[in-house]
Amino acid sequence: MRNAAILALAAIAPAASAGTVVLFDNLTPGYTQNNWVAVERFAQPALPFVASVDADLASIELPLTQNQQGTFSYIVRLYAADPGDPGIPGGDPLAEWHGVPGGLATVVPSATVALAAGARYFVAVDVPDTRTNYDRGWRLQLEEYRGPMAVGYPGNWTRTEGQTWWPAMRVLGETSVPAAPEPATLALGALALASAAARRRRR
């Protein structure tokens, strides 16, 4: 009886499986083709997001402008919020990617980057030189939304205080979630429980 019951519980107990979660997404509705926030070496836009669950960073997707020659490239960095001022990025980046091409770009971490539920992070876009070229930019989300962001460069970030139309971005994470038992697994568990009950009656 005891062994059968243990087998039944094991059969119907949910298992841990990897699942993709959306941590931030204002990209899905689309993004503007003719409007963007300019990206410069000393004026890097940094968009905040708050992780909804504990997860490892899976990818960041963001639309960047590109010229006809296809020569634009960018640097994308992920920061935790500054402990003393959560309105700006703080410290060294948690991850960074160089040579990111213009267009709808996706960056994927080469090592595990753990994000904590409720914690605030920033994605900042940089350029590899100090040229002023306002055609290099991060395209805006489709529907106008003016919220607080940060702008600047490492060691010299400032808040925009809600004056900036947000650029578009999607952040995905990987997390362990309880998997619901399949019907066949539930049937196996029910059969084991019924077998255990029958044995008990016979005794």
Question: pLDDT at position 84, please?
Answer: 95
Alpha-carbon span 172 to 21, nearest angstrom:
6
Q: pLDDT truncated to tens, each residue of the chain (203 aa)? A: 444 443 333 443 444 446 999 999 999 989 999 999 999 999 999 999 999 999 999 999 999 998 766 678 999 999 999 999 999 999 999 999 999 999 999 999 999 999 999 999 999 999 998 877 878 999 999 988 888 999 999 999 999 877 789 999 999 999 975 544 445 444 444 544 455 455 555 55
The pLDDT, as a whole number, for residue 2 is: 46
Residue with tokens 């077998």: 195
> CA 150 to CA 160: how far, in whole Å?
6
The one-letter amino acid at 144: E
Q: Which residues of 41-59 are buried (b: 16+ CB within 10 A; e: fewer)?
A: eeebbbbbbebeeebebbe
The Cα angle at residue 121 between residues 116 and 122, in degrees rounded to 5: 160
- Round to whole Å and give the CA distance between 73 and 34: 18
CATH code 3.20.20 for 15-178: no
Cα 81 from Cα 89, distance rounded (Å): 4
pLDDT for residue 161? 77
Task: Provide the pLDDT for residue 14.
Answer: 42
pLDDT on residue 68: 65
